[in-house]
Structure 1
Amino acid sequence: MKKILAVIDMQNDFIDGALGTKEAEAIVPGVIQKIRDFDGTVIATRDTHGEDYLNTEEGKNLPVVHCVKGTHGWEIQSGIKEALLAKPDSLVIDKPTFGSVELGEYVKKLNESGDPVEEITLIGLCTDICVISNALLLKAYLPEVPIRVVKSCCAGVTPESHIQAIEAMKMCQIEVIE
């Protein structure tokens, strides 16, 4: 049975760039260690926008240009990128919005390949936007597979919204672990 680690949007713009926070910076060492120690398939997502970001629905509601494809802010943080490259079967999925349908479809296909998915663990940024969106999306794709979120390897837009998202995920039968 396969175990999956989904590393959500650990990009420069969310860590110390346009939308960075000290809480996001603080989780980087733990995220790197979790990737290094993980015995299973590692899939990272990368928030990906174009030059027209401010004209999109998201851009109108969050008018801060970030994660524009090809920029430094779009890139996965260097230490995390190194940890991912050390995993021979790791994969990076670019996603244009909060939740990644491509991630859900990929994991569902893995589950149907004859070696079922045993569990999915999520870490990354931001707890209250993309982590919760992908946790719920994965729960919809694979309702019988345990979904876990590592609280200490996530950070939200604010500490308060991080806690609110953690509580919301618990209500949706997503296990929260330290």
Structure 2
Amino acid sequence: MDHLIIVDCQYDFIDGSLACSHSREAVRNIIAFANANDVECMYTSDWHSKTNKSFKINGGIWPVHCVAGSRGAEVSDEFNQMNEGNRPGKDNIFYKGKNDDVEEYSACLAANSSGKVLSECVSPHVYVTGIAAEYCVKETVLGLLEKGIKVTVLKDCLGYVSEDDYRKSLAAMKEKGAEVL
């Protein structure tokens, strides 16, 4: 069975401090794809402390987002519409961005509550979806490709910051070997 990696579909990227274009549509499309296909879902979550160095207030470039324990850090509850085994839970949510001093876009080294690392748990072929296409999705895809994992990116299942950069990111992922559908 293939894995469906759902990158950072958290409230801060959907309707919060870093809300992205097409994010609500992406979530609906991800749910439809997962419910119609034989896949096992794995979620990634940006997960920061209030002192994370990526925040503008701490010298970084981003507004405060996805602070551990906040609504903005929660995976969208729309995913409760998934078939029961694919809903978000402690074993299939992988957290990244926990180190305050390191910017971590890729979810390849993200770990779940048991300490299992995402890139070590996936099938030889994965589908990748989520938010934001130009940052965490792209870096996760490139990291998986470097590990020899075959990746299919579902372009209608992506949220993005800029449509131009979204298109450039799709081209960059395809150039590195990802299939884009």
TM bucket by the smaller chain? 0.7 to 0.9
Shift of 1:118: 3.9
SS at match of 2:16: coil
Rounded to whole Å, the distance in 2 between the matches of 1:137 and 1:58 is 24
Letter aligned with residue 96 of structure 2: K
- Superimposed CA distance per residue, residues 37-92 of structure 1 (whole angstroms, 9 cap, x where no aligned partner): 23132110001110102xx1465342300000000000011112442754279600
Gaps of 5+ in 2: 98-103
More helix by share: 1
Gaps of 5+ in 1: 112-116
- Superimposed CA distance per residue, residues 105-140 of structure 1 (whole angstroms, 9 cap, x where no aligned partner): 7455446xxxxx341110000000000010011111
Shift of 1:6: 0.4
1:17-166 to 2 correspondence within 5 Å?
17-53=16-52, 56-57=53-54, 59=56, 60-83=59-82, 86-87=85-86, 91-96=92-97, 97-103=104-110, 106=117, 109-110=120-121, 117-141=123-147, 143=148, 145-166=149-170
Q: Sequence identity of aligned pairs in percent? A: 22
Q: Structure 1 length as normaliser, TM-score?
A: 0.83
Rounded to whole Å, the distance in 2 between the matches of 1:63 and 1:131 is 17
Rounded to whole Å, the distance in 1 between the matches of 2:49 and 2:42 is 22
Q: Structure 2 length as normaliser, TM-score?
A: 0.81
Computed over aligned residues only, the root mean square deviation of the Cα atoms, in angstroms, reads 2.4
Rounded to whole Å, the distance in 1 between the matches of 2:83 and 2:76 is 10
What is the match of residue 100 of structure 2? none
Aligned length: 167
